[in-house]
Structure 1
Amino acid sequence: MQMALSSGLTRAIGVSNYNVTHLEALLAAPTTRVKPAVNQCQMSINGSAFCSPETGVCLHGPGHDDATIAFCRTHNITYEAYDVMSGCPFHDARLGAIARAHGMSAAQVCFRWTLQRGAILATGTGHNATKAALHSKDDLGTYDPNFELTGEEMAYLDGIRPQREGVRT
């Protein structure tokens, strides 16, 4: 990647799914001449899941890694969130109430939560033009300067964990 950057083939380089340990090792490596501009990681309100291909065991974790977000901020590495909508708990009644209180959709609240956690959004719409138009509208509404979640709303959303048999854990 560093060669591609120095050759002018790209304007920036980045990594994906690196935590603090990975980033520290990368930055300390004698072969690292350029730090990554971005660290793209899965991030969602409802938690993340890692499924081991060897064992098939799935581990559910929080939807955000505060330590890695802080490390990236300190080292001027952009933390980019992907897969935000896969963990947006559309079923959650209080999320719906928060969205209505702000005149936004649940998706926009999930996007806003991501931004307020210190990440930028990597969004995608697939190949469906109708879905693309709807998603783009939600994406843009997230940047409304009058739309900010309160500390109480953020704390509530931070506390949502993956659904298990219909019970919020």
Structure 2
Amino acid sequence: MEKFVEEGKIRSLGLSNWYVKELESFLPQVTITPALVQNEIHPYYQENDVIPYIQDLGIVVQGWYPLGGRGHTAELLGDEVISGIAKAHGVSSAQVILRWNLQKGVVVIPGSSNPDHIKENTELYGFELTDAEMAQINALDRSEKHDWY
């Protein structure tokens, strides 16, 4: 893959589902640092040790399943803490979760086929979560993966 970057066939490299231990072993073996690491990240699985490690390397962190993923979205969107914060800001629970990620420096690309949800998911810049609200969401971490790979 590094050869393809050098030849201009691809612009950058990315990894999916890589954590501290794997990166510590892998990175000394390559000459091109990955541009992005994509991991499952949502309020019930926060990766709080992994995110800053990756970011300190100058690598972008992208969260997949930001809204909880298959079979878990309703539970996460209905969480009392998240719903309460959403109500206080006059936004949806999905917007709160996406904003929480952005404030942590995590890039999120939520999937939806519903045009209204897609539009709503882009409207994240009219409010900001307070430190107390960020802490409330951070306290929801269950180390609960919703997909295994």
Q: TM-score, normalised by structure 2?
A: 0.83
Question: One-letter code of the match for 1:73?
Answer: Q
For residues 156 and 124 of structure 1, do their structure 2 counterparts lie closer, same or farther at Cα, with a shift above 3 Å needed?
Answer: same
2:27 paired residue number: 27
Q: Return closer, same or farther for 1:37/1:115 CA change in 2, 3 Å cut-off.
A: same
Structure with bigger gyration radius: 1
The aligned residue for residue 91 of structure 1 is 78
Q: As a proportion of its length, which structure holds more strand?
A: 1
Q: Partner amino acid for 2:120?
A: D
Counterpart-to-counterpart distance in 2, 1:120 and 1:149:
16
Residue ranges of structure 2 left out of the alignment (5+ in a row): 143-149
Superposition deviation, residue 160 in structure 1? 1.8
**Residue 15 of structure 1 aligns with which residue?**
15
Post-superposition offset of 1:161 = 4.8
Q: Which has the higher contact order (CA 8 A, sep 6+)?
A: 2
SS in 2 for 1:28: helix
Aligned: 1:38 with 2:18: no
State how many pairs are aligned. 137
Q: Which residue of 1 aligns with 2:101?
A: 114
How far apart are residue 118 of structure 1 and its match?
Answer: 2.1
| Identity of matched residues, % | 29
Out of 127, 135, 144, the position equivalent to 1:147 is 127
Note the alpha carbon deviations across 1:96-129, whole angstroms, 9 max, x for none. Answer: 221121121100001011112221112222xx4x
Question: After TM superposition, which residue ranges in structure 1, 4 or more long, deviate above 6 angstroms?
Answer: none
Q: Is 1:137 aligned to 2:124, yes or no? A: no
Q: CA RMSD in A?
A: 1.7
- Asked whether the equivalents of residues 64 and 108 of structure 2 are also in contact (C-alpha less than 8 Å), the reply is yes
- Looking at structure 2, the residues matched to 65 and 161 of structure 1 have their Cα atoms a distance apart, in angstroms, of 9
